Amino acid sequence: MDDALFMHRLHFAFTVTFHYLFPQLTMGLAALIVVLKTLYLRTDKPLYNRAARFWAKVFGINFVMGVVTGIPMEFQFGTNWAQFSRVTGGVIGQPLVMEGVFSFFLESAFLGLFLYGERKLSRIGHWWAAFAVFAGSWLSGFFIIVTNAWMQYPVAFQRMPDGAFHVTSFWGLLFNPWALIQYAHNMCGALITGAFVMAAVGAYYLLDNKFVEEGRVFLRVAVVAGVIACAVQIFPTGDLHGRMMAAHQPATVAAMEGLFKTEAGAPIVILGQPDAESERIDNPLAANKVLSFLIYGATTARVKGLNEFPKTDWPTNIPLLFYGYHIMAGLGTIFVAVMAGAAFLLWRGKLFGARWMLWILLLCLPFPYIANTAGWMTAEAGRQPWLVYGLMRTGEGYSKNVHAGNGLFTLLGFMGLYTLLAILFLFLVRRVIERGPVDEAGAEAGSGMPVTLA
Amino acid sequence: MLTTWFLLVAVMIAAYVVFDGFDLGIGVLHLFLARTEEERRLLIRTIGPVWDGNEVWLLAGGGTLYFAFPLLYASGFSGFYLPLMIVLWLLILRGIGVELRMHLDSPVWRGLFGGAFGISSLLLTVFFGAALGNVIRGVPLQRDGYFFLPLWTDWNVGPQPGILDWYTVIAGVVAVVALALHGANYAALKTSGELNVRARRAAAFLWPVLALVTLVSLAATLAIRPDLLDNYRRMPALFAIPALVAASLFTMRSMGRSGNERGAFLSSCAYLVLMLVGAAAAVYPNLLLSTTDPALNITIYNAHSGEHALAVGLIWWSFGMAIAVGYFVFVYRMFKGKISTGNGGHGY
């Protein structure tokens, strides 16, 4: 493989993978914080507001990390993927500016008010500040998904003689059917991360026998939101996403499933190691006919294998794609089981005493991050060898004027800087969790008397 | 239509320079102006709730460039690869410096993050100035529309220059002085007492320096790029711009002397905007000049994206900007007046 191409791919993969660890929690928590603030408004119990304030602190640290690691993403389209930007700017430049104009201004304006302005605002006013931050972050996610969806399933464009893509329909681009399904699936993923993080902290407090009252609120909200999000993640969003891929990216689906040869009544491989060279799965653990059923609803349906496609159109890293997909789907299934179990115990009023379940919730903490990352790896490795699916190859898009040495130089710089950010993040969030949901004397939240907006 | 988008990009860049300009200026100045932790904290509070929103202008401006003139975005961003990456690292350090500084009540922690905030602000200012210098000087564009500049070559302004040469270093110095002065004017507006006195003294000290480096940069620009006067000769009314730059400088001084803090700050905003307008008027309709052959210049005519995108873009862009301006008015209103000690500092 071309050295420079590999370096530019690794550069983007590394920076975007690290970046997305933060927005998934930002978006998930933002929604859950709105739930807590709503509960506070409706019940008038300070407990809910204390819980909201605690999560706002975590949110604040997480948000900063998302912002500072997000800026490089927009720049890297131009720095590392210049040719891609040059020909597609007229299309995907649009959602990228819209993100800045419609969501970043909104988020940045209300974040300060939400985090520190509680005393300046009425209770309703502060609820609106939380809602604005939530809306901004979810809108931001939408524009990014629109961008990615166009690369997966290009619509509403016209190819010019010089190779440039020109957009032909504003709404067509914005409401790309692929984007709508991908967005639903992705946002469920963010909610799952938010729910598991909140549940893990709640479980930790209960197991450690501190901040028990708040811990119970965290668990209740997180488990209810989590069980819904986990279920919707698989059906209908995951199911629809899979069918959509089977229809438009059949080679990707074949590689994801490790299906090298076309089969009627294709099995689903649950575990195994794909060997792309000899075109087989080692040590397969398979369930017969399930794949055909999942995609076409009939156990005898024919599913296209990789042999139907020229090798030049095969995804470039089949094992990575296979594992990415299997880790995502496997964890997603486990999440449903965990959250359903927790929700059942909650319903029976036994969750808070079921230490084994609390332990499971605590230990689940890292897995939604892994599942979301693996899901994105599936989407992006699955799009290969295309940058714009079926139209522009990845090798045509990178900055030919930036050699591999320059790419490695800046990649190492980002690795160093991001290691530092990761340490800072863990250190600061751990501090917030150890201190717990208490109102510090003299803090913004100190007075119980809301002051109306001056 | 293309000229409109040229103007819109220019407006967004100018908004970035004016708004984030005082954040950067405060970053540089807080290393020198503040003598105690309390004072450093006060200075950072003057930008605490607004710096993030100010920085969005950079993202929105960069995005608009990407959307409206993809060739310029592709060529410029890849050609300035190394300095842009350094700018990204500095933006990260600036962001965590200002945001995480107050998280621990420890002199070491605050010294570390305050220092990161100050030094990254200083270096960002130098790089932004040098970037503008590069655009005005031109770059060795190739036939395919791309180029790649090393950080430096022999520091001379030739057909194969580096990012940094004597000319762009001058531009960097102008930027540092201009934004430090902008920050001093902003600090004077937002603080009171001893700190306010010191901010005004800093502004008074920096003013003659800025007047001097502005003149030097003007002379240097005309020396290396005499053709930049072509637009001005064709349309002599444009000479009003340098006259207004001078007027804004003098107003800034007289306002500063008479203690009109708001007037001095607004003159400082006007100075920055007019300097950028002057540069934009000189390069139009070019977006990036070639040092080797004017035929290779990137212009609004060869760099723009599709007609439909630009036409529809005008609608949603105006709509979005109107909302964004609304947020800005709202936030700055919530935050108006002098900063005080005690609570209500937005956590900074």
Q: What is the pLDDT of residue A116?
A: 85
pLDDT tens per residue, range A131-182: 999 999 999 999 999 999 999 999 999 999 999 999 999 999 999 999 999 9
pLDDT tens per residue, range B55-110: 999 999 999 999 999 999 999 999 999 999 999 999 999 999 999 998 998 999 99
- Mean pLDDT to the nearest integer, B270-287: 95
Encoding tokens for residue A124?
């309703």
Between chains, do B74 and A89 touch, taking CB under 8 Å as contact? yes
Give yes or no for B74 touching A (CB within 8 A): yes
Name the helix (H) or strand (E) containing A213: helix A212-232
Give yes or no for B2 touching A (CB within 8 A): no
Tell me the pLDDT band of A54, cut-offs 50, 70 and 90: very high
Between chains, do B78 and A82 touch, taking CB under 8 Å as contact? yes
Tell me: pLDDT of A1 over 70.
no
| A396, A398, A400, A406: CA torsion to nearest 10 | -160
One DSSP character per residue, A396-454 reads GTS-TTS-HHHHHHHHHHHHHHHHHHHHHHHHHHHHHHHH-S---TTSTT--SSPPPP-
Q: What is the pLDDT of residue B48?
A: 87
Mean pLDDT across chain B = 93
Give yes or no for A99 touching B (CB within 8 A): yes
Q: Which of A69, A80, A86 sits opposite B70 (nearest CB)?
A: A86
DSSP state of A278: T
Whole-number Å distance between alpha carbons of A127 and A115: 11
Tell me the pLDDT band of A451, cut-offs 50, 70 and 90: very low
A163: left (phi over 0), alpha (psi -120 to 50) or beta: left
- Mean pLDDT to the nearest integer, B324-342: 86
Percent of chain A with pLDDT over 70: 96
Q: What is the pLDDT of residue B336?
A: 85
Tell me the pLDDT band of B344, cut-offs 50, 70 and 90: low
Q: Which of A72, A89, A101 sits opposite B60 (nearest CB)?
A: A101
Query: In sequence order, what are the residues at sequence separation of 6 or more whose Cβ sits closer than 8 angstroms to the Cβ of residue B65?
Result: B9, B72, B73
Q: What is the pLDDT of residue B348?
A: 74
Give yes or no for A280 touching B (CB within 8 A): no
Between chains, do B59 and A86 touch, taking CB under 8 Å as contact? no
Give yes or no for B344 touching A (CB within 8 A): yes
- Mean pLDDT to the nearest integer, A234-247: 94
Q: What is the pLDDT of residue A454?
A: 31
Q: Which of A401, A442, A444 sits opposite B79 (nearest CB)?
A: A401
Between chains, do A164 and B328 touch, taking CB under 8 Å as contact? no
Between chains, do A64 and B312 touch, taking CB under 8 Å as contact? no
Predicted ipTM of the assembly: 0.93
One DSSP character per residue, B256-285 reads HHTT-HHHHHHHHHHHHHHHHHHHHHHHTT
Residue of B nearest to A408 (CA): B82
Q: What is the pLDDT of residue A117?
A: 84
Name the helix (H) or strand (E) containing B287: strand B286-288
Per mean pLDDT, which range of A190-199, A254-263, A287-296, A434-443 is the poorest?
A434-443
- Mean pLDDT to the nearest integer, B5-22: 95
Q: What is the pLDDT of residue A450?
A: 34
Residue of A nearest to B57 (CA): A100
Alpha helices in chain B (DSSP H): 2-33, 37-45, 51-68, 70-79, 81-100, 107-137, 166-190, 193-224, 230-234, 240-257, 261-283, 300-303, 307-334
Whole-number Å distance between alpha carbons of B278 and A93: 28
Comparing A219 with B157, which gets the higher pLDDT? A219
Between chains, do B306 and A88 touch, taking CB under 8 Å as contact? no
Encoding tokens for residue B279?
């540069």
Q: What is the pLDDT of residue A440?
A: 61
Interface test with B, best of A15, A18, A104 (most B CBs within 10 A): A104
Between chains, do B63 and A105 touch, taking CB under 8 Å as contact? no
- Mean pLDDT to the nearest integer, B250-268: 95
Interface test with B, best of A15, A18, A22, A71 (most B CBs within 10 A): A71
Interface test with A, best of B100, B139, B300 (most A CBs within 10 A): B100
* 3-state DSSP assignment of residue A297: coil
Give yes or no for B331 touching A (CB within 8 A): yes
Interface test with B, best of A92, A104, A105 (most B CBs within 10 A): A105
The type of residue at A390 is G
Question: Do B100 and A424 form a contact (C-beta atoms < 8 A)?
Answer: yes
pLDDT tens per residue, range A367-426: 999 999 999 999 999 999 999 999 999 999 999 999 999 999 999 999 999 999 999 999
Tell me the pLDDT band of A453, cut-offs 50, 70 and 90: very low
Tell me: pLDDT of B335 over 90.
no
- Domain ranges (residues) in chain A: 3-244+321-435
- Domain ranges (residues) in chain B: 2-232+283-334
Tell me: pLDDT of A83 over 70.
yes
pLDDT tens per residue, range A193-204: 999 999 999 999
Give yes or no for B169 touching A (CB within 8 A): no
Tell me: pLDDT of A71 over 90.
yes
Q: Which of A64, A86, A170 sits opposite B99 (nearest CB)?
A: A64
Between chains, do B66 and A401 touch, taking CB under 8 Å as contact? no
Annotate A235-272 with b (16+ C-beta within 10 A) or e (fewer): eebbebbbbbbbeebbbbbbbbbbbbeebebbbbbeeb
Encoding tokens for residue A294?
């999942």
Q: How many other β-carbons are positioned within 10 Å of the β-carbon of residue A388?
A: 23
B256 min Cα distance to partner chain A (Å) = 30
Question: Do A327 and A374 form a contact (C-beta atoms < 8 A)?
Answer: yes
Q: What is the pLDDT of residue A333?
A: 96
Residue A414: its chain B contacts at CB < 8 A? Answer: 89
Tell me: pLDDT of A448 over 90.
no
- Mean pLDDT to the nearest integer, A236-251: 94
Mean pLDDT across chain A = 93
Residue A168: its chain B contacts at CB < 8 A? Answer: 308
pLDDT tens per residue, range A415-443: 999 999 999 999 999 999 999 998 764 44
pLDDT tens per residue, range A346-364: 999 999 999 999 999 999 9
Tell me: pLDDT of B277 over 60.
yes
Residue A406: its chain B contacts at CB < 8 A? Answer: 81-82
Name the helix (H) or strand (E) containing B286: strand B286-288
Residue B19: its chain A contacts at CB < 8 A? Answer: none
Q: Which of residues 347-406 of A touch B (CB under 8 A)?
A: 399-402, 406
Give yes or no for B317 touching A (CB within 8 A): yes
Whole-number Å distance between alpha carbons of A41 and A438: 19
Interface test with B, best of A68, A73, A168 (most B CBs within 10 A): A68
Between chains, do B67 and A90 touch, taking CB under 8 Å as contact? yes
